[in-house]
Amino acid sequence: MSFLLGVAIFVVALLASIMLHEAGHFTTAKLFGMKATQFFVGFGRTIWSRQKGETEYGVKAIPAGGFVKIVGMTDLEDVDPADEPRSFRKQPGWQRIIVLAAGSFMHFVLALVLLFIVAAGIGLETASTGTAVGTVESCVPANLNSGCVKGDPASPATQAGVKVGDRIVSIGGLRVNSWTQMGKAIRSQQVGQEVPVVVDRHGKLVTLHATLASLPGHGSYLGVSPAAVFQRVGPVSAASYAGHEFWTMLSGSASVVTSLPKAIPDLFAKNRADTPGGQVTSVVGAGNITGQVLEARIGWQPKAALVLLIIASLNIFVGAFNLLPLLPLDGGHLAVVIYERIRYWLARLFGRPDPGPVDYRRLVPLSVGVFALLVGVGLLLIMADLVNPVHIQ
């Protein structure tokens, strides 16, 4: 149930992001007096729409994006002469640049707001000095750096019934007051031997019995991780955190794009999570990861923080990717407008006539090729996320 809730939360957040993106284009276009005839979420067959003024608002069957129809986006479009003065192509270059960039701008604003909420509303994570359990591992992994895979035995903590929030009081009769002491107490026990684990659960002492496992290079293994302490910070610190994380995520997005060619061969590898193929995912994979976060046996604060960070990261990636100078992306249209203005300024500098708008007919094959490539890569990522999903636990 938690998994499905996580996926649902991600889908709702994705649709909200799409609406904000299109609202950015729509609002700025209206602000500059351009005529926008449609505002839709999704593609394909229309399942609901409503006409209000000169704009039709609606939802289409495939929730894989959205669009705002602004009259006269290119010189290829036939426009009613009465609407030509309000067409996109007739507006000053700076206004067209703002309208085109407004979609990505909304993604960036949403990401910054979510990051601010993480710091100011949920709190920043610091290591606990006590023995409260923050995570109960579900398995005994092959090593500390690998996650659980099918066939791994259940962890001793899971089998013994240790729960998130328990405060461990003693292990094998050795009283512990810190995570360091607890680690030493665990490693001092014999592998395969049942030991009593006393926990403080909601003020009551409960004695559990765990048979410790062996983890290569680590020794005796119980399968618990410390609880994190979440400390809320003030507005200034929260804003600083949001800015720092925004830049970190933006840099990470660039790394993901540049590593994509290397990652494609690993998308269907058995150990995908440990390869570059584990660093790239589709919206299906991101929804799956969100579901795994809500299903994880951790406290509500790390769950909420991780979900918000996933959504923020997605918005930063989409916003940045959409600004790439490739048609049909917004960045491609931006590049065309900027090229037109530079060409105009140079012509004016040398006393030549305005060369006019770029001939979009020459750009159609490039636009179709890029679109086909994006669709192909997107479908490949979706297929990989369906048949070979990345597991974070």
Give the residue numbers marked as catalytic.
22
- The radius of gyration of the chain from alpha carbons, rounded to an integer in Å, stands at 27
The SS3 assignment for 176 reads: coil
How far is it, in rounded angstroms, from Cα 280 to Cα 379?
A: 13
- State the greatest distance between any 2 C-alpha atoms of the chain, in Å, as a whole number: 91
Q: What sign for the dihedral angle of Cα 132, 138, 141, 147?
A: negative
Burial of 3 (0-12, 13-18, 19+ CB in 10 A): middle
**Kind and range of the H or E run holding 144:** none
How far is it, in rounded angstroms, from Cα 88 to Cα 74?
A: 8
Q: Which two tokens stand for residue 153?
A: 């035995």
How far is it, in rounded angstroms, from Cα 175 to Cα 193?
A: 18
How far is it, in rounded angstroms, from Cα 59 to Cα 354?
A: 41
**CB contact at 8 A, 277 and 263:** yes
**CB contact at 8 A, 392 and 310:** no
**CB contact at 8 A, 183 and 171:** no
Which spans in the chain are helix H? 2-31, 93-117, 156-160, 179-187, 235-263, 283-295, 300-321, 330-349, 364-387
**CB contact at 8 A, 310 and 289:** yes
Helices 93-117 and 300-321, axial angle in degrees (round to 10): 170
Please tell me what DSSP assigns to residue 363.
T
